[in-house]
Chains A and B, each alone.
Chain A
């Protein structure tokens, strides 16, 4: 066995190029590892600005085993040269100078072309079905038990003389499930106004609270009972997850609502809320896109809107043909995806059996960078 040489050997080749798909000002330097990589202390990257004769400046260093360095904060349009210094202990060896590279900004992110194509196709589908809906073609939507039960739950709660509790979850107004929850809230509020029932909405986020107040007011107006609307029943609780859970549990135990709606974004507090709701004997309708919380809701509540059923809620409840048409487009897109999956599975299986790397083209086209 030869002992490892103490003499540092330079990296065999260095390549510099404009970092792709960025906003400019960056060059990526790539090199092959030094033959003595296992004893290398670090690779130091040097930058020369303007000409190969310029004064080299250290751009930074990386640890052994690394072959890539991204040099940022450069000037667009300027030419840069690089070399890599291989350090072993206190000794070093410099590589040859790299090719010149010029940083620039790109107008199109090539790594995301597949996403763009999918977006355009999906967008096209949506517009096609929107047009269909405008021309008055009737659209079918399957029955969603959880949404059918909304009116019933409000009605039964009113019969028992109890208030209705609507929990919009711990999401923010930027979360799509929260917006979907507000659409459901509007329907619940409208029904509550029709039955002259009290509706309580404790909130986790002040912006959601403001939106919820508007939505409930609108629901009461639509039912022709703006006089019954009480803004004090739609209030802010706390922006702390478990503080919110404790607060809502307290409301449940004190106010004993007859119907509890758990709609929106939920995390670990989902079961704490749903079990307390069950213990007071309320009818519970839950809905969330947080997949990990779905099992808890399914186990502890009477009806659960699973994922996209929630997004379909406003279209389903309003039966607005324009909204329904987007759901139709969604279903067609889903069929398309299933076809893509099947083709992908087939090609990847073939690639695995035959060892033909060319068959990965389909999968590679879909990878995002």
Chain B
């Protein structure tokens, strides 16, 4: 086996090892890069930025632990933005196993800004039936959530007293690891004209670009890069920001591997012809 053959058939375990090193080294060495925020992320940021204080932002946790590395930093950065601007935050979710993640982030950021539960924010929890929940929220929030997750009646929470349906929600932020984002657009936007910002994993984000172009969502935060952009915009560098060097290195590694593979491929073909 000559050098070219080897290049064309690198063992996948070697590739795995390189990927592992490419992720671990920059994280351990605490490298960091500045990012220039993407336009769609800046758009999302500006939509939140221009809300008057007291406006209600509804977060939907539509992910679970698997996509936590990408979506949790987004959630933390956006919550930080909302609380800093004295917006009211509501949280619900369609993925029951991910909801605790949302709650943990909500409590943590609320504490940072000394916000009070029930007055400045509330955690509504999960109700089954994705489409039905979305449609009913457009009619009457109390049809879906008559209590918060602790069982406190919604009407005894000041933050919710005047929230009845989408009309009272300034922006809906959906954090998506699957197809729930499409449902939000289909039901909350198309039927009730709700303003929506979607944050999604890098795998899901390309699916959501058509909505952005069609103006059906007003901002799109995609993957770790999007999260890093938002962290930079609100100036709370966090895990996404620190993850950027690792991501860059892996992208470059993949490109190098592709080039090597092609070199080997062509050299072998050349050899074969001779």
Contact = CB atoms under 8 A, between A and B. Distances in A.
Tell me, yes or no, whether A and B come into direct contact in the complex with CB atoms closer than 8 A: yes
A291 B165 contact: no
A291 B207 contact: yes
A60 B162 contact: yes
Contact of A268 (B97, B203, B207): B203
B274 interface: no
Given A61-B162, A63-B52, A267-B178, A70 B167 contact: yes
Interface string B70-108: 000000000000000000000000000100000000000
B42 to A, nearest CB: 21
A268 B140 contact: no
A62 B167 contact: yes
A279 interface: yes
Contacts of B204: 292
A128 interface: no
B206 A268 contact: no
Interface residues of B, number: 26
Interface in B177-200: 177-179, 190-191
A132 interface: no
A289 B170 CA distance: 33
Contact of A368 (B54, B179, B190): B190
Dominant SS among interface residues on chain B: loop
A69 B167 CA distance: 7
Interface in A227-256: 240-242
A72 B139 contact: yes
Nearest to A175: B179
B247 interface: no
Contacts of B178: 267
Contact of B66 (A72, A268, A369): A268
B67 to A, nearest CB: 8
Contacts of A292: 203-204, 206-207
Contact of B52 (A64, A240, A279): A64
Interface of B: 12, 52, 54-55, 64, 66-67, 97, 139-140, 162, 164-165, 167-168, 170, 177-179, 190-191, 201, 203-204, 206-207
